[in-house]
Amino acid sequence: MLNNMSLKSVLISGAAALTIAGQAYAYEPARSAECIAPANPGGGWDFTCRSVGKVLVDQKYIKGNVQTVNMSGAGGGVAFAHTVSKRAKDDALIVAASTATTTRLAQGQFPGMNSGQVKWVGTLGADYGVIAVGKDSKYTSLTQIMDALKQDTSAVKFAGGSASGGWDHLKVLIAAQKSNVSNLPKIRYLAYSGGSEALVQVVGGHVDAFTGDISEVKGFMESGDLRVLAVMSEQRLPAPFNTIPTAMEQGIDAVAPNWRGFYVPGKASGDSYNWWVKTIDELYSTQEWKDIMAKNGLMPFHKTGAEFTQFVKNQTLDIQLLSKDIGLIK
* pLDDT value, residue 22: 36
Amino acid identity of residue 281, one-letter, is D
* pLDDT value, residue 26: 65
Q: What is the distance between the alpha carbons of residues 330 and 324, in angstroms, rounded to a whole number? A: 6
DSSP 61-80: SSSS-EEEEE--SGGGHHHH
pLDDT at position 121 over 60:
yes
* pLDDT value, residue 25: 44
Least reliable range by pLDDT among 25-34, 180-189, 210-219: 25-34
* pLDDT value, residue 326: 83
Number of H helices, E strands in the chain: 11, 10
Grade residue 4 by pLDDT with cuts at 50, 70 and 90. Answer: very low
Of 130, 118, 159, nearest to 265 by C-alpha is 118
Q: How many CB atoms lie within 10 A of CB 167?
A: 27
pLDDT in tens, 128-170: 999 999 999 999 999 999 999 999 999 999 999 988 889 999 9
pLDDT in tens, 232-247: 999 999 888 999 999 9
CB 163 within 8 A of CB 247: no
Average pLDDT, integer, range 307-318? 94
List domains and CATH numbers for the chain.
33-126+259-326 (3.40.190.150), 128-250 (3.40.190.10)
Least reliable range by pLDDT among 16-30, 88-102, 249-263: 16-30
CB 187 within 8 A of CB 170: no
